[in-house]
Amino acid sequence: MTTMPQPAPVDLRPKKSAAALIFLIVFLDLLGVGLIVPLTAYIVERFSASGTAVAMLTMSYSAAQFVATPVLGALSDRYGRRPVLMLSLLGSAGGYLLFATAGALPLLYAARVLAGLTGGNISAAQAAIADMTPPRDRAKAYGLIGAAFGLGFVLGPAFSSVLVRYGLMAPVWTAAGLSLVTFTLVAFFLPESLSREARRKSMNAGDFNPLGVLLRTMRIPMVTAMLGAIFATAFAHAELRASLSVLLRDKFRYTEMQAAHVFTWIGFVAVMVQGGLVRRLSPRIGDRRSVLLGLPLAMAGYALIPVAPPGHWGPLIGALTLMGLGAGLATPSLTGILSRAAPSGQEGSVMGASQSIAALGLVFGPMAAGPLYDYVGWSWPFWSASAFMAAAFVIVALLHVGKEGGGPEPLIAVEAGAV
């Protein structure tokens, strides 16, 4: 009796080591971001104290990223993830160096534009994870990416609170150095995750039009709705990012060091949720339920932030914890749903479109938050953010998404451009 030959076992160690390296790369990149985020209002205050000036700094980066990210995503599908990561990290380093030496507000904006134009590192990292992870496990993998985000935002502000003692720009110089270290890791140690056979064979002029890339991507079933939900959550996050450091400065009268401590706590919550809770909860209840559980918590947290009384840590930290818990549950699960809707060979384009639509939310969010803060009231950017999280909840609630792979299925028909 003959026996059928058994297939040789697949050695998963190279993929695991590459995934661990991607985690490290994202962590170091976000560590640099975390170094300067708490200080934004204080850096801009040298030239202008208005909330709109701070919001415009956020918007300038996001507007440039919106233009560039779909192109970088398409390039990563054509030439591989590694070259795009290297280009992005060099751009980040250059942006930080210009930011550290800027002597006028327009130069601060120019520095962020430079960083935004080359800011495709996260979408390339997400696409690399999609290359090496089965569809049913991607929410967990993206949860680890989210944990790298959170860990960067824990240690970044914590280190910033120490470095700022040596000068307001000391954290910015450190961020530039981290980008160069990360570039070295990619150049010498990260293998290419996208095989030559799986790469796109050609590109066309439409790939260089961010709106064109988005419109083509939104023809894929279910992608339109999920991009709408991602836009809403990004808009809400942008309003928080544009307004929180200003609120801490104006209402709570926090110093740069105290503001860094607040952002450290936000990052700590993100690590606990996305690095631990999401990995355990998402496989059990599914991506859709994770989103529908997380978004109401985030809505409540956003609404409560501005009503916390000054002089007391408890209510503010409680509201931020609620917001971080909800957003941490929802965000990787939204990305997991979207990645399952992406056809094979187009993960980079879909993830690029995802980051691009998020960047569009990060453009319009600050545009709304700055005037709301300056002319309507300090609370309104946060209440607006809560309303946008409610909109994302409605979108996902009207869709049926399976617990595990196989792709989402609609309960309602969602036409392109309807969301």
**In this predicted structure, what is the pLDDT of residue 120?**
63
Domain match, 172 and 253 both: no
Looking at per-residue pLDDT, the higher value among 251 and 28 belongs to 251
Are 159 and 247 within one domain?
no
Question: What's the token pair of residue 6?
Answer: 């058994």
pLDDT for the residue numbered 59: 87
For residues 387 and 350, the model is more confident at 387
- Residue 293 domain flag: yes
Q: What is the pLDDT of residues 349-380, one digit of tens each?
A: 777 678 778 878 888 999 999 999 999 999 99
Distance of alpha carbon 362 from alpha carbon 61, whole angstroms: 9
Domain contains 201 = no
Q: Is residue 413 in some structural domain?
A: no
pLDDT at position 222 over 80: no
Q: How far is CA 402 from CA 97, 154, 220, 347, in A?
A: 46, 33, 17, 19
The number of C-alpha atoms within 13 Å of 96 and in the hemisphere containing its C-beta is 28
Supply the pTM of this predicted model: 0.72
Q: Are 249 and 378 part of one and the same domain?
A: yes
Q: What is the pLDDT of residue 409?
A: 35
Predicted local distance difference test score (pLDDT) of residue 419 = 27
Question: Which one is predicted more confidently, 163 or 351?
Answer: 163
Q: How far apart are CA 65 and CA 55, in angstroms?
A: 15
Res. 296 pLDDT band, cuts 50 70 90: very high
pLDDT at 204 over 50: yes
191 and 51, same domain (yes or no) = yes
Average pLDDT over residues 64-90: 81
Distance of CA 56 to the CA centre of its chain: 18
Looking at residue 368, its amino acid is A
**Is the confidence at residue 6, as pLDDT, over 60?**
no
User: Which of 149, 164, 195 is where one domain is finished?
Assistant: 195
Are 161 and 276 in the same domain? no
Q: What are phi and psi of 418, to 5 degrees?
A: -80, -25
Q: What is the DSSP string of 231-249?
A: HHHHHHHHHHHHHHHHHHH
Percent of all residues in the chain with a pLDDT value above 70, rounded to a whole number: 81
**Residue at 103 is within a domain:** yes
Of 195, 219, 249, which residue constitutes the final position of a domain?
A: 195
Tally of domains in the chain: 2
The amino acid sitting at 227 is L
Residue-wise pLDDT for 167-184, tens only, equals 999 999 999 998 898 888
- 183 and 246 within one domain: no
Does any domain span residue 263? yes
Q: Which residues pair with 409 in a beta bridge?
A: 400
Asked, for residue 84, whether it belongs to a domain, the answer is: yes
The per-residue pLDDT for 207 is: 62
pLDDT of 1 strictly over 60: no
Residue 346: the pLDDT is 67
Average pLDDT over residues 41-52: 87
Q: Which residue has the higher pLDDT, 217 or 240?
A: 240
Contacts of residue 9, defined as CB under 8 A and 6 or more positions apart, other chains included, come to none
Collapsing DSSP to helix, strand or coil, 406 comes out as coil
pLDDT of res. 206: 62
Spatial distance between the Cα atoms of 216 and 11, rounded to a whole number of angstroms: 36
Structure-model confidence comparison of residues 3 and 130, the more confident one: 130
pLDDT grade, residue 317 (50/70/90)?
A: very high
Domain identity same for 235 and 157: no
**pLDDT at position 233 over 80:** yes
Q: How many C-beta atoms lie closer than 10 Å to residue 208's C-beta?
A: 15
**Residue 239: which CATH number?**
1.20.1250.20
Q: What is the per-residue pLDDT for 72?
A: 78
Q: Name the more confident of 387 and 66.
A: 387
pLDDT (average), residues 122-139: 75
Query: How far is it between the farthest Cα atoms of the chain?
Result: 85
pLDDT confidence tier of residue 188, bands split at 50, 70 and 90: confident
Q: How confident is the model at residue 224 (pLDDT cuts 50, 70, 90)?
A: confident
Same domain, 165 and 228: no
223-to-23, 85, 96, 218 alpha-carbon distances in Å: 26, 25, 34, 5
Query: Hey, what are 325's tokens?
Result: 């818990």
- C-beta of residue 210 within 8 angstroms of C-beta of residue 349: no
- Where among 195, 222, 237 does a domain terminate? 195
Query: Residue 39: which domain range?
Result: 15-195
| Per-residue model confidence (pLDDT) at position 97 | 94
Q: Tens digits of per-residue pLDDT, 86-127?
A: 888 898 899 999 999 998 999 999 998 998 887 767 777 777
pLDDT of 189 over the 90 cut:
no
